[in-house]
Each structure stands twice: as C-alpha cells, then as structure tokens.
Structure 1
C-alpha cells in the first residue's frame, strides 16, 4: 500500500503543472513593478509565517502521543488552543486596529516562538501553556497580516483587482508549496535524522525569528482606527454594530465559522482516521500530499478570480458542496468497508479511500482561503477589520471546542458527518450572500442613477 501515497502525490503534481502552464492571457492580471515589489515582500513574509506554523502541523498530535497522552488528553490540549483564541482573539484583533498591524504581526512571531519552546517539556501544564500561546498566535496570524496587507494595498493606490492576485499567490505558496516543504522537512528531521518529534518545533522557532526581522525592517505601520483614541469597548461596539447592521458581514462570518470549524476538526481527526488501528503512516509525507492538494485549489482560485465576470459568491457555493461530499466519504467507508482488526501494518483499503476524500477536501481549502479573503476585503470596513475578523473566530472556536471535548464520546464517522452538515449549511448561506450582494449592487446602481437625474434632469 505504500506505493499508493506516491501515486496520489504524482497525479496531483501532474494536474498542478498542467493548470499552471495552461494559463492563458485571460487567466493573468497585468500589474506594475511597484506592486510586484510590494506583493513579493508580503508573500515572503507570509510564507515564513506559514512555514513556522506548518512545520509544527504534522507532529502536534504525534508529539503529544509520544509523551504518552491519550486521545482525550490531546483533545483537551487542542481545546485550550481554540479556547484561548476565542477568549483573547478579539482583544488582540482590536489591538491590531488600534496600536498597529505591524506591531501585532511582530507580536505573533514572539508569542509563537515561546509556544514552540514549551514543546520541550512533557509536563501537561507546560504543554497547556504552549497551546494557549499558540491560540493567541493563531488569532494574530489570521487577522493582523491580512489587515496590514489590505490597508497598505489601498494606501499605495494599487488597483483593487490586484489584491486577489496577492491573495491567491500567498495561499499558493504559503499554504501550498511552503507547507509541502515544511512537511517534508519535518518528516526528515524526525524520521531520517532521528532528532525526535520536538525538532520541527525548533525549526519553526528559527523560521519565525527570520520573518520577525524582515517585518521589523521592511514594513511600515498602519492602523484601523485613524484617530487612535477609541478604547477597546468602543472598538468592540463598533465591530458588533457593523456585523448586526450589515447582513453580508454576518453571513460572511457564519460561512467562515462553518467552514473553518470543519477544517480544524479535520486537522484533529485525519491522523486517527487514516490509522485507526495504529497503522504505520508517514505523517509528514501525507501532510505534504494534503498541501499539494491545497496548491491545486489555490491555483484554480487564481484563474477564477482573474475573470472579472465570474463572482466569488457564485462558485464558492459549489466548492462548499464538494467539500461536504469529500468529508462524507469516511462516513460511507465506515459502513461499506470491513474494518481491519489487526494492529499496525500499512494503511488499509478504507484508509486509502478516505485519503482520496481528504485530498479533495484540501483542494477545496485551497480554493476557500483566497476567495474568503477577497470577500472580506469587499465587505468588512477598514476601521475595524482585525476586530471583526476575530469576532468571526468566536463561534468557530466554540464549535471546535465542543467537538474536541466530546471527541472520545462519538465515533470518528459521526464527527465527519457533523462536518458534512456544517459544510452543506455553508453552501446554503453562500447562496444567500450572493442574493443579498446582488440586491445591494442593484440598489446602489438605482440610487446612483437617481442622484444623477437630480443633478442633471436632462441626463439619460
């Protein structure tokens, strides 16, 4: 069965190469040298930040197992990470809007480096502290950097459509190529070099330190609140009011929470799903395969977003339905494929089928990230961008905490069935978002025409 991993990996490389080299002029966006320099700087920093995160990804679960903790103990550690992101995420997001996105991006590096250092201890309390720090860092990663990019992009007067190019390239490299390299490096450090499951976390700390230095010396500061006088409570109220008064923002937050809730549940479940009886699977190589799937998705997203007549709100409905079907596959496998009783060995037939579904889901993840970033840049107001983005993470983290707290009480197939329902709901809400957005555009067009007629009655 070992050759199955290489077949899946090779097929995805062929598809990716075909996608990249078959791009026509319609699939490309013409930009300026100044924008290219700005884009490349951001992508370099973002890639280093994601490398620091991805180096840890394949061995978080494995490290806790190495220290002797069972699935329930590990679930509580994961809960600590998501819980801290929920409790502190909105606060650090408002800090980014008030005190500066560059400052909080550097804070991400420092906090995550400290989290990496805690992995050297096998004490549960120290590991718990590391998860809390990691949760805070995650909130900063998925708000401060994007907020800095959007603000700086428009401050420099670049075309709005070019922003989608930065998003897709950042995800293609940061969530794709860098993640593949990180997975293979982590696998080499642990397997080939025998440095132990904590070595990828040390490599992550070094990578984050390099990124910290680049941010410090090359990024200018920008803020959400131009006055800088609003307190935390005022920022929270402003963000909550924006969500409550604009259905598009509320729908976007619900869609993001449902998809990311399913995604983070998948992050926890893929290891036990592929090796329910302790099958020997190459974690780093499988992780790299997932990231190659994500690259396929982001490559496809760059094509779709380059078409001005194709709306993100439209094609994402299909993406959510496909992702729901992909995570439903392990549910069918549990009923149709006879479970393996023997302990150890290579991946089972059911595991192979599940792996195919997981790769399809990761392709949808690659489509999701640049697309949701594009929609956030359109709908979320600049003055509270980081705060609102972390508001979105509150229901996400509540959902994931509930799932992980009960992870030992339900079979894995039930968990994947729940994710399938979440993703189907996301597709329904995405349809509603498209309808509301189109209605808003029509109303805005009518209002503009009425204003033109008032100023110039003879204008047709």
Structure 2
C-alpha cells in the first residue's frame, strides 16, 4: 500500500490537488502584485525628469517613499496580524493602484502623495503576503518541506522572471510602442487589479497572534539590548545597513548616471538586464551555500567587488570625455553599465547570504524585532543621502557608496574573526568539559 501522504493514495491525491490549487492561487495573486511593483521601477526617475523636476526635487520624492516605508514598516506587520493578512494584501493593491494613478499628474504635491502611498504599499508587500502564505500553509496541514520549496520558487519567479519580463514589457510600452513613460504605471495598475480580484475570489482570511502586537518602544528596547550585548549582531546590522543603503542609493542614481546629457537609453531593457544579473548572482550564491562555503569569507570578496563597481562612475567621469547631448549612450556609460550589472550580481549573492548569516547570529525569539530595527538606520541613511543629492555631483555620490561598501568589507572581516573566536572558545570549553578529572 502507498504511504498516507503518497500522491497515489486517495488522501494524497486530495492533498496534492488542494496544494496545487493553493499554489496556483497564491502564485497568480503574488505574481500580479510583484508585476505591479516591478513595472514601475525602470521609469520612476525618468518620468519625474520628464515633468521638469531636477535631481534635488526627485530626490525629495524618493525620500518620501523611503520615509513612509520607514515609518509604516515597523507597524504594518502587527496591523496585518490584527486586521487580517488577506485584508492587508487587498490594501496593498488598492494603495499601489492609487499611487500609480498619481503618476498622471505633473503637480509635485500629487506626486509626493503618490510616493507616500508607494512607501506604505511596499511595506505591505514585504510583510502581508509572506505572513498570509505561512499561516495558510500551516492551516491546511501541508508538508512543512513544501514551504521552503514555495519560497524558493517565489523568489525565482517574483524577483527574477517576473522582474525581467516586467522590465521588457515596460520598455515595449514606453519606448517601442510610444505610449510614454506613464504607460508602465497604467499597466502596473491593471496587474494589481487582477491580483486583487484573485485575492478576493480565492483567498481565505487568517490572523496573527494578538499577543505579538507589543509596544513599539518595548520592541526597540529588546532589539537594542541584543545588539549592545552581542558584537556579531551589531556588526551584521552595520553591514546590512551599509550595503542596502548603497543599493537603494544606486536605485536612484543609475538613470542619471547612464544619461547625464539626456542620452536616449532603453530604461526597461537595462532594468531587465539588471534583474537577469541579480538572478545570476542568486544562482551563484545557491552553489556556494550548497558547497558549505563560509559565508563570512566569500562575502568579503563580494563587498570588495561591489565597492569597485560603484567606483567606476568616478573613474569614467575623469577619464572619458562627455558625450553629445541627446545622443545614444556613451562609451563611459557602457563601462558603467557593465559595472552596474556586476553590482547587481553581487546584490543577488547578498540576499541569500545575509539571510544565512541572520539565521546564525540573530536569536529566534527577537528575530523580527531586530530585523525591523536594522531597517531604521538603513532608511535614515538613504534619506540623508538623497536629501543632500543636489550638494554633490553624481560621481561623488557613487564614491561615497563605494567607501561605504569598502567599510562593509572590513566589518565583514571583523565579523568572521569574532565568529571564529567564538567558535574556538566554545569548542575549547566543550573539550574541557569532556576531559576526565585528574586524580
């Protein structure tokens, strides 16, 4: 007889069918939500520049998005637990659709409201969908191993394949078909509406533990105490903030860096190339982790390479002569683009690697609190940099990011030393305990 959970058994067939329906529903809704997010990425800066705003004005719009994400990111998780994860996912779709609609207005205040709405939506995207998936998976009694498979496929599809297709589709709408830079935002709203319809029609509601909604100050005190008492956690938080801060600054800078003289560049195609590079990096990380290579060791190299790639705009600014206004991408731009693709590959390696280190160093009972605590200096870092974006040339901004990444490499070296010392001390203590007492 087949085992109870075998697909050949009757209960197994019902469970497999239920699982397939569940995964199809989650994938379609999650894919629609992810497509709605990725479609906006390539043309945000370009759209604002087409409305006549300078680098400083655009920087403040980006600050509104990061600032609202920083403020609301610490509370949306508990709100979703209390009010319902399905309801939170629907709120994400509605909020992001409203944000897309604001892109039709050239008025700065309306665009600012859209950025605030986008920041709130981003916070919901990174909390509500995952929480709903885990709770629903457990409620239906699926095999726990399926959850990790679902996550890996979601990362591959949502952060990889969907992002690449979204970038190419955005380029098709805006450039090839001539609908203009606002067209990708209209397409994003359509995908968000489709995702919301799937959620409304096929998802069940689930809630979190009400006891998890602790006072924010109490959560921060717990996180601060853990960080202050363990150098490894403090180093990990600093490394994460330095790298992600540089990464989000890069998100703002890559468009003006590749078209400093209003060169005609294929924004969507370049964005898709970045996402393909990131997928390549994720594949490399999977192979490194499968071979059980020490994360603390190879991440020093990754941070050093990242620092070099973001220093390329500084080099090309002094060596390569400026291009003609309104032409195609310059030779210096091509060199920078190659460096940016390598940087995106480093980003692809970074995500699974930082998750691995967090699982090693952050205590389980305070994991979510400490991870939210890390996002506060990260968002503050990005807001400060973007607020002063008009005070420095783009090359100087990239130079600052390169320095931050080099510091991250140094801190990663320190983390490996502290970790090795901790392991050797612990091994020595265990050996001493196993030795028999001398007579």
**TM-score, normalising length from structure 1?**
0.79
Which piece of structure 1 moves more, 257-266 or 312-321? 312-321
- Displacement of 1:425 in angstroms is 1.4
Aligned to 1:347: 329
Q: Match of 2:389?
A: 407
8 Å Cα contact 1:152-1:222 kept in structure 2: no
Deviation at 1:214, TM superposition (A): 5.0
Structure 1 residue aligned with 2:36: 52
- Aligned counterpart, 2:316: 333
For 1:31-110, what aligned pairs fall within 5 Å after superposition? Answer: 46-96=30-80, 104-110=88-94
- Find the counterpart in structure 1 of residue 187 from structure 2: 203
Distance 1:113 1:373, change over 3 A: farther
Which structure 2 residues correspond to residues 106-185 of structure 1 after superposition, within 5 A?
106-145=90-129, 158=144, 163=148, 169-185=153-169
Distance 1:450 1:41 in 2: 55
Question: 1:138 deviation in Å?
Answer: 2.3
Residue aligned with 2:389, SS: coil
Closer, same or farther: CA 422–92 of 1 in aligned 2, 3 Å: same
Q: Aligned pair 1:322/2:310, yes or no?
A: no
Alignment of 1:280 with 2:267, yes or no, is no
In 2, distance between residues paired with 1:301 and 1:196?
Answer: 37
Q: Cα distance 1:392–1:320, how it changes in 2: closer, same or farther (>3 A)?
A: same
Take 1:335 and 1:212, find their aligned partners in 2: how far apart are those partners? 49
**Structure whose CA Rg is larger:** 2
The answer to whether the 8 Å contact 1:171/1:370 transfers is no
Indicate conservation of the 8 Å contact 2:88/2:128, yes or no.
yes
TM-align CA RMSD:
3.5
Label 1:168 to 1:432 Cα distance change in 2 as closer, same or farther (>3 A).
farther
Q: Deviations over 1:218-264 (max 9, x none)?
A: 577464x5734634443343344333344333322222211111111
> Structure 1 CA distance, aligned partners of 2:194 and 2:159?
18
In 2, the alpha carbon distance for the partners of 1:157 and 1:444 equals: 35
Question: How far, CA to CA, are the matches of 1:443 and 1:310 in structure 2?
Answer: 21
The one-character-per-residue Cα deviations of 1:53-103 (angstroms, maximum 9, x if unpaired) are 110011101111222222221111111111222222222244356666665
Change in CA separation of 1:249 and 1:113 when aligned onto 2, cut-off 3 Å = farther
Task: Provide the rounded CA distance (Å) in 1 between the counterparts of 2:31 and 2:416.
Answer: 31
Q: Larger RCO: Structure 1 or Structure 2 (Cα < 8 Å, ≥ 6 residues apart)?
A: 1
Alpha-carbon distance change, 347 to 124 in structure 1, aligned in 2, over 3 angstroms: same
Describe the shift of the 1:125–1:423 C-alpha distance in structure 2 as closer, same or farther (beyond 3 A). Answer: same
Number of aligned residue pairs: 419
* CA-to-aligned-CA distance 1:139-198 (integer Å, 9 cap, x gap): 3333455566678889967469x84x6665444332222111111111111123333322
Matched-pair contact (CA < 8 Å) for 2:264–2:328: yes
State the shift of 1:439 in Å: 4.5
Q: Distance in 2 between matches of 1:384 and 1:99?
A: 23
Matched, 1:393 2:375: yes
- Where in structure 2 are there 5+ consecutive unaligned residues? 1-15
SS in 1 for 2:328: coil
Q: Provide the C-alpha distance between the structure 1 equivalents of 2:388 and 2:249, rounded to a whole number of angstroms.
A: 12
Gapped runs of 5+ residues in structure 1? Answer: 1-32
Whole-angstrom distance in 2 between the partners of 1:240 and 1:45:
37
Cα gap change, 1:358 to 1:241, in 2 (>3 Å): same
Distance 1:187 1:327 in 2: 25
Measure how far apart 1:112 and its partner are.
2.0
> Within the alignment, does 1:303 sit opposite 2:287 as a pair?
yes
Once residues 145 and 434 of structure 1 are traced to their aligned partners in structure 2, the CA distance between those partners, rounded to angstroms, is 34
